Structure 1
């Protein structure tokens, strides 16, 4: 915190001028200079007393127009300051803002609206931050002395990741999303509704199609033609070695990944899926079932998430039936790591990586992933990664 000064620049200049006048009066034997110096001293003392003697107190309350502030979103802050003191000739109020939000939180006091203060803030960096306390800088009528006081407590503001609109996944499935797939699966049409596909590491042995295996000479598994589940899984890879772990500054790649995680999860909910959002260690970040509280809970969890620890094999993150869409969002991915990404027979395995190393995309494609580099343009990356094969029910295509 900067050192607080009792005198303004003008007050310090007046005090210095008085000292010089005292010296000059002694050197020149000019009493008038001594009188002027004494006047300046008295004015400075009077200014300090006016500013520092009165006891000023009062409660401060804040109201922010949005409970969750999205990165890039503008919100209004209303501050109510009921100060009990003599009227202030000149005051400057300032609400202390964290670096994670920007805004012009300063002005003259008293305001035109009495004790009501309003200003706008914009979300800059996700996280939970404190706004306040409110400080008041009081200056005497001559501008010689100043006093800075803090009033009230802080108010927490939660800045959540940006959610961007995405291209529909349902059109690639040839259906209207998770809800439509649920209906189709429940109808069922016996064994005619099944088609074999090549075995992928992690598939259940109970799904092996022995007749197709014998016919083709490769291990095949049963798969519904609509190959979907009303459940979707979004995995945010927080493995520390995949990200830049500098704590002083936000990693733009990880921020893009968090924004993509929020955008994809909420987008899949809109398409009718029940969505589970996990990190790479299996910790639940959110379970979305179409409720507003679920959405807010996920955004708050993502506002606090950071790279840490190690991850697990993806197929260990879901129990039993593989999900329909499976979206993995990760950072640096080399060919060796990509070759270990088993999706366990998910209907639409999608991989978004902020840094795809040489050969990583091809290694993931061989396992059935549809992948794309993740940039700050989350919508474009998502569209590039959409599995085009879903419209025809063919094999996976990696982009």
Structure 2
């Protein structure tokens, strides 16, 4: 019952009282008219049965933080009466902003026997990474006098993934890792059939696409191209998810700082793979978060994994040495939260070609202690590109040149 309905009900009650006190029967007739009007309005609003199927189509497969997209809602409404009049509102999670409301029925209506099919659309923008849901659709209708309002929840929710933003970073100054270019491993690939320099006999497991037809015709046996020495650069990105490193002064989890770390992790991983590195993204205990070898699906998978990651509660995680143990090829990037000088001064990098430490909350002398250990260390603010440049890993003024690569990663979060 609306405020107008409550007023009508109270007025009817006062009229009944007044009719008895003043001995005026006409007031009873007016009160009876008001009560009848309330009953009819309630029947008009609440009696009709409604069945609806709701479907949503999001223009982007993955919504990136800071980007906009649109949502199309299709409602198949079945009712014995004409479709109700009111307003619709779609449920929006805190991770997105938008104006998901409008008049009902909308302008786009296709009437069919026993109901109607309606289509509404509204824009949304990503404001925070995460796994969320759109809906349910709420339909509010009222009687012609505005005495009662009925709100129906129609249909199910639709999942939506808001992935972290990938920003362009300055080009990596040390592309090969350790001095002299020795950070590229060499391997003899048998049975792989990659682009090669010399032919060899076919063995089970070789790709038929790599058959060397000219050598096969010359020797009379199946021959495949073999690469004598194949370059395989790699990089490791470690995202420290230990809960104790992401705690505010009040004891709460610092989700804002962790979100900045996740954005830096995604940007650095995509930047490294665009620079020719095979990239593994792990947490401090060595658990794999994502693996990048240049395919768009791999980038999507990493971004989806990072969209749902969160700090782990519990004691401080001492797994950083385990994550970097044995990594001696290419860049090693560790992204962490609060770290003091003692931890930074004992953090091993295993002789990595380019050890980089990025922290959202460095303690006093933590950065200098890390640099003494051979790390390129920097504090992470709002822009990962600034921290990347502060480590000395990026060429000054080269972020614009790599903007196309980052843009390509952003396109992976849209409809391909």
Cα displacement (A) at 1:319? 6.6
- Paired residues of 2:177 and 2:354 also in contact (CA < 8 A): no
Look up the match of 2:19. 25
Look up the match of 1:290. 294
Is 1:351 the counterpart of 2:357 in the alignment? yes
Q: How many residues align?
A: 338
Look up the match of 1:107. 102
Pick closer, same or farther for the CA change 1:263–1:243 going to 2, 3 Å. Answer: same
Is 1:306 the counterpart of 2:306 in the alignment? no
Is 1:35 the counterpart of 2:29 in the alignment? yes
Cα displacement (A) at 1:70? 1.5
Structural mapping, 1:219-238, within 5 Å = 230-238=233-241
Is 1:91 the counterpart of 2:110 in the alignment? no
Cα displacement (A) at 1:122? 1.7
Structure number with higher relative contact order (C-alpha < 8 Å, ≥ 6 residues apart): 2
- Paired residues of 2:132 and 2:160 also in contact (CA < 8 A): yes
CA distance in 1, matches of 2:38, 2:370: 76
Scaled by the length of structure 2, the TM-score of the pair is 0.76
Look up the match of 2:160. 157
Cα displacement (A) at 1:311? 3.7
Secondary structure of the corresponding residue to residue 36 of structure 1? helix
Look up the match of 1:140. 143
Look up the match of 2:370. 364
Look up the match of 1:197. none
CA distance in 2, matches of 1:296, 1:184: 27
Secondary structure of the corresponding residue to residue 45 of structure 1? helix
CA distance in 1, matches of 2:243, 2:345: 19
- Paired residues of 2:283 and 2:323 also in contact (CA < 8 A): no
Is 1:62 the counterpart of 2:66 in the alignment? no
Look up the match of 2:282. 278
Look up the match of 2:346. 340
Is 1:254 the counterpart of 2:287 in the alignment? no
Runs of at least 5 residues in structure 1 that lack an aligned partner in the other structure = 1-6, 188-227, 390-399
Structure 1 segments (4+ residues) deviating >4 Å: 175-178, 181-187, 245-250, 312-315, 318-321
CA distance in 1, matches of 2:142, 2:251: 40
Match of 1:45 among 22, 35, 39: 39
Secondary structure of the corresponding residue to residue 371 of structure 2? helix
CA distance in 2, matches of 1:128, 1:318: 29
Pick closer, same or farther for the CA change 1:358–1:268 going to 2, 3 Å. Answer: same
CA distance in 2, matches of 1:341, 1:247: 25
Moved more, 259-268 or 66-75: 66-75
CA RMSD, aligned part only? 2.6
- Paired residues of 1:71 and 1:126 also in contact (CA < 8 A): yes
CA distance in 2, matches of 1:350, 1:159: 28
- Paired residues of 2:273 and 2:294 also in contact (CA < 8 A): yes
Secondary structure of the corresponding residue to residue 150 of structure 1? strand
CA distance in 2, matches of 1:294, 1:142: 57
Cα displacement (A) at 1:318? 5.2
Secondary structure of the corresponding residue to residue 352 of structure 1? strand
CA distance in 2, matches of 1:313, 1:31: 86
Structural mapping, 1:100-249, within 5 Å = 100-114=95-109, 115-169=118-172, 172-173=173-174, 230-244=233-247
Look up the match of 1:209. none
CA distance in 2, matches of 1:248, 1:319: 31
- Paired residues of 2:338 and 2:363 also in contact (CA < 8 A): yes
Look up the match of 1:379. 385
Pick closer, same or farther for the CA change 1:317–1:142 going to 2, 3 Å. Answer: same
CA distance in 2, matches of 1:103, 1:370: 41
Pick closer, same or farther for the CA change 1:77–1:253 going to 2, 3 Å. Answer: same
Secondary structure of the corresponding residue to residue 8 of structure 2? helix
Cα displacement (A) at 1:75? 1.6
CA distance in 1, matches of 2:242, 2:368: 22
Secondary structure of the corresponding residue to residue 59 of structure 1? strand
